[in-house]
């Protein structure tokens, strides 16, 4: 995760990470990092200051819960109940949430998101495969 802290710093953002994980976890680190990639993309085009992204990890009874909050410039758009990219050429973007939904499905979990007061909130719950 320190890798991501450096990347966020490079785009003028700050990444705060909190929580504890068990020493052995079946959820792959690259799958957890995908969430941060989406938040990073949101920060790149954001002029809101300060640009602070928070990632909170909790583990309980075989489930990993990850809550990521990040600022946004333009309110999220929805089409047919699904989030769409707010980028000008949005038809070529916006796969991040679809990937998160697939990830939650793959791990037998769920995904929840909300946006208000300039902050996008994503919570994903993943079942640890080793339980």
Cα distances (Å, whole numbers) of residue 48 to 12, 45, 51: 11, 9, 6
Q: Note the pLDDT tens digit of each residue in 49-82.
A: 889 999 999 999 999 999 999 998 876 666 666 6
Q: What is the pLDDT of residue 66?
A: 94
Domain of residue 64, CATH code: 3.30.565.10
One DSSP character per residue, 44-96 reads HT---SS-EEEEEEEEETTEEEEEEEEE-SS--EEETTEEE--STTGGG---H
Domain of 9 in residue numbering reads as 2-127
Total domain count for the chain?
Answer: 1
Q: What is the pLDDT of residue 86?
A: 56
Query: Is the separation of the CB atoms in 37 and 21 below 8 Å?
Result: no
- Tokens at 54, concatenated: 């928070």
The series of mean pLDDT values per 10 residues for the chain, 131 residues long, is 82 90 86 84 84 94 93 73 57 67 92 89 87 53
Q: What is the pLDDT of residue 87?
A: 54
């Amino acid at each position: 995760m320190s890798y991501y802290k450096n990347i966020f710093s490079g785009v003028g953002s700050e990444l705060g990470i909190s929580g504890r994980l068990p020493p052995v976890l079946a959820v792959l680190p690259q799958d957890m990092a995908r969430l941060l990639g989406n938040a990073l993309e949101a920060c790149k085009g954001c002029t809101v200051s300060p640009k602070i992204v928070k990632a909170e990890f909790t583990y309980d009874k075989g489930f990993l819960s990850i809550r990521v909050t990040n600022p946004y410039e333009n309110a999220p758009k929805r089409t047919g109940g699904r989030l769409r990219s707010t980028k000008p050429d949005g038809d070529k973007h916006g796969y991040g949430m679809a990937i998160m939904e697939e990830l939650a499905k793959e791990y037998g979990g769920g995904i929840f998101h909300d946006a208000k007061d300039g902050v996008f909130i994503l919570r994903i719950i993943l079942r640890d495969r080793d339980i």
